[in-house]
Amino acid sequence: MTWNLIFALLLGIIFFSFILASINSHLLRGSYVWQYNKPHFYLSQRIYMRFEFLIMRLLLALSKMWIIRNSRFLQLFIVKSLTTLIQSEVYTLDECLKIIDSLYKEYPNAYVGIRICPCRQARELYDKNLPNITDLTFVYSKTPGVKKHVQFTKYISINQAKKLLIKFDNDGLIHTMFGNCGNVIDGAFSLAICNCNRDACIPLNVGLDLNLNKMLYAKPHNLAIIDQDKCKGAENCGKCLEVCGFEARIIDKSNGKIKIINEKCYGCALCAHHCPEGANTIKFLPENKVIFYQNLFKDIREKYLLKEK
């Protein structure tokens, strides 16, 4: 009886996720509804941000259930439902800073909020050494007083946000743009940058555990490259092994140096920023589709971003 109840509950959750994803796909992506200047957008955003940690907790719980772990169909079904709601893409620190600078050239009155990481909140996993308040969201709207519709831990300046991004990078956090956001519509936008710790991040860990990262994350537009002549090897250094959150590195047994598994690399550039020998560099892959950087923010990308690539 217990297993029947669990299975029924699971099917109900999956069905609810499917319905929610379908509604979201139909409404939020429809030009007649997805207007950032409309009050209902801020209401839905406020509700989502308030309960996002519960969604992360549910994802983690589902990933541990026997029936999910042994059914690729259910895994793909759940991930497809979630990715209809939430898009995600990994960016380097330099790219994040350029995007923020570009946005604020066009929208100097935009504001930024910072809040606690929903994955840490879902796990109740708080670190004494690493930052826990790492979720940055940038919002601009022509509607007066929109701040009261969105809940954040704290409002900060753009310069404070950039300094935090640099600090997060030094702490080895992966910069990931999450959310059904990034469009500039009717002179308004919303953009979220999650700075993910690999031990706490639920999408990252579920993706690694069930081999679903290719569905949870957009196709990488950067790729790490190692200069074998400069690499000191795992025994004498190994810093890139420590900071790689996607488990995209292995030790070459023939010489003890580090090799990259290209299929697992998402080009976050933490290896390049933390390598003391300068052996790691990042190659831009223009042929790969990028969600936010190249395909969205179309009114500013040619002016500020693409010409620099």
219: DSSP letter: P
Same domain, 137 and 259: no
- Helix (H), strand (E) at residue 8: helix 2-27
List of E strands, the chain = 88-91, 111-115, 135-140, 154-156, 174-178, 189-196, 222-226, 249-251, 258-260, 280-284
Same domain, 77 and 146: yes
Same domain, 193 and 265: no
Same domain, 138 and 257: no
**Residue the block writes with tokens 């074998």:** 228
| 104, two tokens | 């604020």
Condensed to tens digits (0 to 9), the pLDDT of residues 82-106 reads 776 666 889 999 988 888 887 777 7
Handedness of CA 264, 275, 194, 26 (dihedral sign): negative
Same domain, 161 and 294: yes
The listed range with the strongest mean pLDDT (42-46, 76-80, 235-239) is 235-239
Q: For the chain, give the percent of residues with pLDDT over 90.
A: 27
Q: Please report the DSSP string for 275-301 in residue order.
A: -TTS-EEEEE-TTS--IIIIIS-HHHI
For the chain, the 3-state helix, strand and coil shares in percent, each to the nearest 5, are 50, 15, 35
Q: Greater confidence, 59 or 141?
A: 59
Same domain, 31 and 160: yes
Instruction: Tell whether the model's pLDDT for residue 153 goes beyond 80.
Output: no
> Which pLDDT band holds residue 308 (cuts at 50, 70, 90)?
very low
> Which pLDDT band holds residue 78 (cuts at 50, 70, 90)?
confident
> Which pLDDT band holds residue 152 (cuts at 50, 70, 90)?
low
Instruction: Tell whether the model's pLDDT for residue 302 goes beyond 70.
Output: no
> Which pLDDT band holds residue 162 (cuts at 50, 70, 90)?
very high
Spatial separation of the C-alpha atoms in residues 222 and 260, rounded to whole Å: 13
Number of domains in the chain: 2
Condensed to tens digits (0 to 9), the pLDDT of residues 238-296 reads 899 999 999 999 999 888 999 999 999 999 999 999 999 999 999 988 777 666 554 44
Q: Please report the DSSP string for 90-111 in residue order.
A: EE-HHHHHHHHHHHHHH-TT-E
Pick from 186-195, 225-234, 255-264: least confident: 186-195
| 306, two tokens | 């693409």
> Which pLDDT band holds residue 187 (cuts at 50, 70, 90)?
low
Same domain, 229 and 154: no
Same domain, 56 and 179: yes
| 203, two tokens | 């999408």
Instruction: Tell whether the model's pLDDT for residue 147 goes beyond 80.
Output: no
Closest to 245 (Cα-Cα) out of 90, 59, 75: 90
pTM: 0.81
| 151, two tokens | 């809940």
Domain that holds residue 175: 2-213+290-308
Instruction: Tell whether the model's pLDDT for residue 231 goes beyond 80.
Output: yes
Instruction: Tell whether the model's pLDDT for residue 223 goes beyond 60.
Output: yes
Same domain, 108 and 229: no
> Which pLDDT band holds residue 68 (cuts at 50, 70, 90)?
confident
Spatial separation of the C-alpha atoms in residues 225 and 269, rounded to whole Å: 10
Condensed to tens digits (0 to 9), the pLDDT of residues 164-181 reads 999 999 999 999 987 544
Q: CATH number of the domain at 234, please.
A: 3.30.70.20
Residue 139 CA, distance from chain mean position = 17
Same domain, 47 and 168: yes
Same domain, 234 and 122: no
Same domain, 39 and 145: yes
Spatial separation of the C-alpha atoms in residues 116 and 239, rounded to whole Å: 27
Condensed to tens digits (0 to 9), the pLDDT of residues 15-56 reads 455 545 444 444 444 333 333 444 445 555 566 667 777 878
**pLDDT (mean) for 202-212:** 90
Cα 14–Cα 207–Cα 59 angle in degrees, nearest 5: 35
